[in-house]
């Protein structure tokens, strides 16, 4: 009968060394880098094999493989500190260059440093016609960097106007036989397939492509009568011969009204506060973003629900009580400056609203005006003191004495009517 056996756990790593990964093997796995690179035929691709200071001083040779074929060898000088020198550059890549690439470092031992999957497409989608046919330099993103999930490229458009979302095949290729889809978010708003067109719900009669331009690879989408719900991100997707490519996205952006002309409007508090002293002039700021001419727009300034200034068709109307006291810098309208100048004010503090209308598009911005009295007035002009009767003065003295800390009585002395009396 077999008895129980005691296992010496300290010897397990010696008997079965492969069952317990060593620190060095874990470091090797940590150092190995995995990337996916997407490129287009004609691009220049840079495949990194980044050597740390430790590996570069121990390395003798760096080898690059595609599949099992060794395609490049770099000789490394010991102690040269050649971090990153194992980069492989592929120029004028072709679709047949797609595949898996490996970088190995040979020193005292062989170590796999990098594994990269390269995908080369026949064409790509670009948003600028001047970029058609231009080769790119492609390399993997750094671990700390991220692709822009929400593109900022695109036109600013007013509601009710038309807009074209640009998209072109590069290099210039006919798109007549391709499947083309345009998306807003996850909704397909336009499909071109086998020469037939399907328009998405809510976009019927408002979206189209320049079909006579498909031969030249122009797949731009025309959107008519822009609604407020149309603002946002759009993407084009093309499928052909088993390949599917997408563009980086185009964003339809809205014209807005802000209190400051800076670019970073997210830092502007709402409502924007303006502080001013009585009797002076004050400027209530308003700026169109991006900068655009406001000469043909309708501009209204309100205090509460009362319209105190109207600019329309080059004519000005001033509200009751503000005649001769409100004006705009009309020579600045060309630059989108719709600020209002308010003169000789005393009790005009409160909420103001600027409203700019252009066709179907309306923009608004709120400003809070704080009126402050001059410092000398606040300090010295407190008004006459009210006259108090003897009864009120006595009651006030009694109230204040109740809150005064009481002093401990001394032996042989008592207080009465605020006069000390001695005990005899």
Q: What pLDDT, on a 0 to 100 scale, did the predictor assign at position 275?
A: 80
Per-residue pLDDT in tens (0 to 9) along the chain, 424 residues: 444 433 333 333 333 344 444 444 444 444 567 889 999 999 999 998 876 655 555 557 889 999 999 999 887 665 554 554 678 999 999 999 999 999 988 877 777 788 999 999 999 999 998 999 898 888 886 654 444 455 778 999 999 999 999 999 999 999 999 999 999 999 999 999 999 999 999 999 999 999 999 999 999 999 999 999 999 999 999 999 888 899 989 999 999 999 887 665 555 666 788 887 776 788 999 999 999 999 999 999 999 999 999 999 999 999 998 999 999 998 999 999 999 999 887 777 889 999 999 999 999 999 998 877 665 444 434 444 444 445 555 565 555 555 555 555 544 444 434 434 334 3
Q: What pLDDT, on a 0 to 100 scale, did the predictor assign at position 347?
A: 72
Judge contact between 154 and 191, C-beta under 8 A: no
Contacts of 196 (CB under 8 A, 6+ apart): none
Q: What pLDDT, on a 0 to 100 scale, did the predictor assign at position 357?
A: 97
Q: What pLDDT, on a 0 to 100 scale, did the predictor assign at position 286?
A: 94
Kindly report whether the peptide bond that precedes residue 171 is cis, defined as omega within 30 degrees of 0: yes
Judge contact between 354 and 257, C-beta under 8 A: yes
On the question of a common fold for 19-121 and 126-133+151-253, the answer reads yes
Judge contact between 328 and 299, C-beta under 8 A: yes
Give the ranges where 198-304 is alpha helix by DSSP (H).
none
Contacts of 244 (CB under 8 A, 6+ apart): 237, 238
First-last CA distance in the chain: 115
Phi-psi region of 240 (alpha: psi -120 to 50; beta: other; left: phi over 0): beta
Q: Which tokens hold the place of 296?
A: 């043909």
Rounded to an integer, what distance in angstroms lies between the CA atom of residue 153 and that of residue 168?
15
Judge contact between 68 and 92, C-beta under 8 A: no
Q: Which tokens hold the place of 333?
A: 């309208």
> What three-state secondary structure class fits 93?
coil
> What three-state secondary structure class fits 286?
coil
- Determine how many CB atoms are found less than 10 A away from the CB of residue 237: 16
Judge contact between 232 and 250, C-beta under 8 A: no
Contacts of 218 (CB under 8 A, 6+ apart): 129, 167, 168, 175, 210
Q: Which tokens hold the place of 37?
A: 């690179």
Q: Which tokens hold the place of 411?
A: 């032996």
Task: For the chain, give every domain's residue range.
Answer: 19-121, 126-133+151-253, 256-372
Q: Which of the four CATH numbers 3.40.50.300, 3.90.740.10, 3.90.1580.10, 2.60.40.10 does domain 256-372 have?
A: 2.60.40.10
> What three-state secondary structure class fits 263?
coil
Q: What is the CATH T-level fold of the domain 126-133+151-253, as seen in this structure? A: Immunoglobulin-like (2.60.40)
CA dihedral (304, 306, 312, 314) positive or negative: negative
Least Cα distance to 353 among 315, 305, 318 occurs for 305
Domain spanning 19-121 has what CATH number?
2.60.40.10
Rounded to an integer, what distance in angstroms lies between the CA atom of residue 140 and that of residue 174?
29
Looking at residue 330, the DSSP 8-state letter turns out to be G
> What three-state secondary structure class fits 265?
helix
- Regarding beta strands 207-209 and 221-223, do their DSSP bridges make them parallel or antiparallel, or are they unpaired? antiparallel
Q: Name residue 272's beta-bridge partners.
A: 367
- Determine how many CB atoms are found less than 10 A away from the CB of residue 246: 14
Give pTM, 2 decimals.
Answer: 0.69
CA dihedral (11, 16, 17, 22) positive or negative: negative
Rounded to an integer, what distance in angstroms lies between the CA atom of residue 345 and that of residue 315?
24
Q: What pLDDT, on a 0 to 100 scale, did the predictor assign at position 29?
A: 45
């Amino acid at each position: 009968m077999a008895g129980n056996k005691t296992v010496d756990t300290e010897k397990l790593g010696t008997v079965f060394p492969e069952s317990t990964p060593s620190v060095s093997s874990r470091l090797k796995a940590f150092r190995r880098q995995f990337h996916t690179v997407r490129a287009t035929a004609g691009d220049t691709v840079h495949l990194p094999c980044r050597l740390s200071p430790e590996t570069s001083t121990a390395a003798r040779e760096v080898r690059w493989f595609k599949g099992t074929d060794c395609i490049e060898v770099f000789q490394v000088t010991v102690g040269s500190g050649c971090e990153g020198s194992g980069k492989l550059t592929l120029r004028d890549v072709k679709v047949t260059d797609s595949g898996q690439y490996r970088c190995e470092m040979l020193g005292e031992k062989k170590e796999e440093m990098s594994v990269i999957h390269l995908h080369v497409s026949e064409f790509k989608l670009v948003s600028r016609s001047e970029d058609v046919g231009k080769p790119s330099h492609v390399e993997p993103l750094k671990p700390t960097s991220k692709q822009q999930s929400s593109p900022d490229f695109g036109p600013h458009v007013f509601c009710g106007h038309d807009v074209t979302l640009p998209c072109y095949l590069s290099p210039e290729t006919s798109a007549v036989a391709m499947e083309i889809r345009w998306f807003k978010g996850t909704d397909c708003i336009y499909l071109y397939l086998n020469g037939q067109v399907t328009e998405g719900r809510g976009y019927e009669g408002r979206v189209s492509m320049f079909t006579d331009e498909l031969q030249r690879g122009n797949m731009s989408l025309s959107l008519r009568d822009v609604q407020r719900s149309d603002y946002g991100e759009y993407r084009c997707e093309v499928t052909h011969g088993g390949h599917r490519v997408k563009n980086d996205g185009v964003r339809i952006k809205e014209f807005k009204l802000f209190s400051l002309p800076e670019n970073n409007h997210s830092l502007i508090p709402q409502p924007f506060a303006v502080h001013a002293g009585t009797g002076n002039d004050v400027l209530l700021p308003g700026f169109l973003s991006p900068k655009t001419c406001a000469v043909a727009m309708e501009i209204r300034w309100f205090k509460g629900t009362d319209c105190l200034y109207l600019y329309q068709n080059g004519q000005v109307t001033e509200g009751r009580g503000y005649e001769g006291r409100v004006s705009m810098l009309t020579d600045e309208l060309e630059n989108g400056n719709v600020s209002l100048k308010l003169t000789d004010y005393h009790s005009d503090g409160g909420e103001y609203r600027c409203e700019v209308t252009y066709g179907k598009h309306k923009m608004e911005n709120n400003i809070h005006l704080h009126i402050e009295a001059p410092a000398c007035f606040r300090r010295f002009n407190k008004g006459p003191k009210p006259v108090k009767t003897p009864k009120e003065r006595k009651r006030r003295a009694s109230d204040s004495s109740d809150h005064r800390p009481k002093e401990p009585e001394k032996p042989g002395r008592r207080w009465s009517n605020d006069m000390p009396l001695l005990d005899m």
